[in-house]
Amino acid sequence: MKNLLKKRIIIPILAFTVFFTGTAFKNDFFEIAKQIEIFTTLFKELNMNYVDETNPGDLMDTAIKSMLADLDPYTNFMNEQDVEAARINNTGDYTGIGARVKTFKDKLVIIEPYKDYPADKAGLKAGDEIIKVGDIVIETYKENTGDLLKGASDTSVEVTYKRQGKTHTATIKRAEVEIKAVPHFSMVNNKTGYIVLSRFNNKAHYETNYALRDLKAQGAERIILDLRGNPGGLLNEAIKIVNLFVPKGQLVVTTKSKVKKYNKTYYTQSEPIDTEIPLVVLIDGNSASASEIVSGSLQDLDRAVIVGARSFGKGLVQRPKQLTYGTQVKITISRYYTPSGRCIQSLDYWNRNEKGEAVRVKQENYNEFKTKNGRKVFDGGGVFPDVIFNASKNSAITNAIVNSDLVFNYGTDYYYKNNLTDINGLKLSDTDFSNFKNYLKTNKFSFNTDTEKTLYKAFEAATKEELNDNIEKDFNTLITNLKLAKTSVIDENKDYLLELLTEDIVKRYVYREGLYEYYKVNDPRIKKATEILSNTTTYLNYLK
């Protein structure tokens, strides 16, 4: 009992020590100390006197997450497992089975096996459902099931998995896994090089530098840099990648914070590789953070033509702070600004709507800035491409389809029903799209819009007030029309959904490496980028 009490008292004292030694809150020290004391006494009394047994760790975890939820989604508490995941993300190195895995309550699903890594060598494929690791059944395991696949290099793990309803076993020999920042680079044609930069880990600049030099040696006279789907990462890597294409001493990004030491200006530090080579940067709605620093600064400096869809709009900078027992807190410390002075943050987490949701900055509130050549650019909504390819027309419904794993699961079914030989010639048809819509119905895809939720709530209130008999017919008509409208929204997003399906299916046959080769032949954005780069006058006109 004494040890338990010690633990209960030590946690708040340690928290107090962390706060006491900080610097950002000096002016509010008394208020912070007061609130910590209130919380300390509350936490102690609750754990000592509550009618049932409490779990101090779980209570503290809930308290921390609830507190941080009122800030922004990037300010997070990180336990020891989270800290290790962040290390892997920043270095790209870990030991494991070499596959992207999704955790469910009763299974581990292989999302993507990496070519020539252990899971692939053992014969596992995307869609395989691991139900047992060694003698441990996933469904009954109470700890983090993802950890079961981890282990030292050269150790083996036996897995039992289901594939298309049949049960199989495999022995996987773990190995060192390297996740490349640049998973692919090659020539699109005899004068155009193509570089895919998928993440900003601590190898991003080195690998991009290598790819650029190699392509130039192969005869590349223009470059396509693909940042689509790149969620960002290390700020310094982004600056160094910009430096490949702009002179030493060029302002790339400025960070502004309430803490003076975080107010910094970042300039390029090295001699560039090539300041003249024509450059197109591809972005989409999942290009975020460091990707937006690279694309936004190159746009501001009129150093590249930006092609694709509007980027995500994350203009916030985080920094991890060490806590006790191997934990960390990742705190949003500043906003960043591109060379023109714009911040591309799209969601306002500090002035929320009546539901407590962050709201998107309205277009009428965007501020105008000028590039080096005097072109108009705007803040408040991500990086706007110079050449726009529209993405999803209704992200809520398409995101719901993706998040329900229905695109992924349809890809699994397609793979086992179709023996394709010419992957680069794959073109999904209207029939394929109809099949996919039927697949959504068969798998009972449902997505309740805010409109539906409001209508059901209103009808429920009418029922309580015994007014429902008068409006039930109209209510049912509205609900029917809404369902028809949702179906039409799926049809409106046909091209977008077919792209997602195609990407997933191609990876089943030829891995991610083959997907980039498929892009070079079939992707309309790469075709447009190649077209822009092939005509010097057209390219320069975009930058004037």
Instruction: Please give the model's pTM, rounded to 2 decimal places.
Output: 0.86
Paired tokens of 504: 């997933």
Helices 290-300 and 235-243, interaxial angle, to 10°?
Answer: 30
**How long is the chain?**
544
Please tell me the distance from the alpha carbon of residue 356 to that of residue 28, in angstroms, as a whole number.
Answer: 26
Helices 494-522 and 430-442, interaxial angle, to 10°?
Answer: 130
CB count within 10 Å of CB 62 equals: 11
Q: Which residues of 282-291 are buried (b: 16+ CB within 10 A; e: fewer)?
A: bbbbebbbbb
Per-residue pLDDT of 325-346, as tens digits, reads 888 999 999 999 999 999 999 9
Known catalytic residue: 289? yes
CB count within 10 Å of CB 457 equals: 10
For residue 83, what pLDDT is reported? 84
The closest of 491, 501, 332 to 405, measured between CA atoms, is 501
Q: Which of 132, 203, 240, 314 is catalytic?
A: 314
For residue 404, what pLDDT is reported? 92
Known catalytic residue: 270? no
Paired tokens of 118: 């252990």
For residue 517, what pLDDT is reported? 96
For residue 17, what pLDDT is reported? 46
Q: Which domains does the chain carry?
A: 94-178 (2.30.42.10), 184-391 (3.90.226.10), 396-525 (no CATH)
Give the three-class secondary structure for 477. Answer: helix
For residue 27, what pLDDT is reported? 57
Any long-range contacts for 137-143 (C-beta under 8 Å, 24+ apart)?
138/106, 138/107, 138/108, 139/105, 139/106, 139/107
Confirm if 149 and 108 have CB atoms less than 8 A apart: yes
Please tell me the distance from the alpha carbon of residue 32 to that of residue 48, in angstroms, as a whole number.
Answer: 24
End-to-end CA distance of the chain: 74
Please tell me the distance from the alpha carbon of residue 306 to that of residue 311, in angstroms, as a whole number.
Answer: 11
Please tell me the distance from the alpha carbon of residue 267 to that of residue 280, in angstroms, as a whole number.
Answer: 22
Per-residue pLDDT of 59-77, as tens digits, reads 998 899 899 988 999 999 9
Region at 67 (left for phi over 0; alpha for psi -120 to 50; beta for the rest)? alpha
For residue 394, what pLDDT is reported? 60
Give the three-class secondary structure for 444. Answer: coil
Q: At residue 209, what is the residue type?
A: N
Please tell me the distance from the alpha carbon of residue 74 to that of residue 346, in angstroms, as a whole number.
Answer: 14
Please tell me the distance from the alpha carbon of residue 99 to that of residue 175, in angstroms, as a whole number.
Answer: 11
For residue 234, what pLDDT is reported? 93
- What parts of the chain have a pLDDT lower than 70? 1-27, 391-395, 449, 467-468
For residue 516, what pLDDT is reported? 97
Q: Which of 289, 311, 334, 346 is catalytic?
A: 289
Confirm if 172 and 156 have CB atoms less than 8 A apart: yes
Q: Where are the beta strands (DSSP E) in 74-183?
A: 76-78, 93-96, 99-103, 108-113, 129-133, 136-137, 156-163, 166-173, 175-178
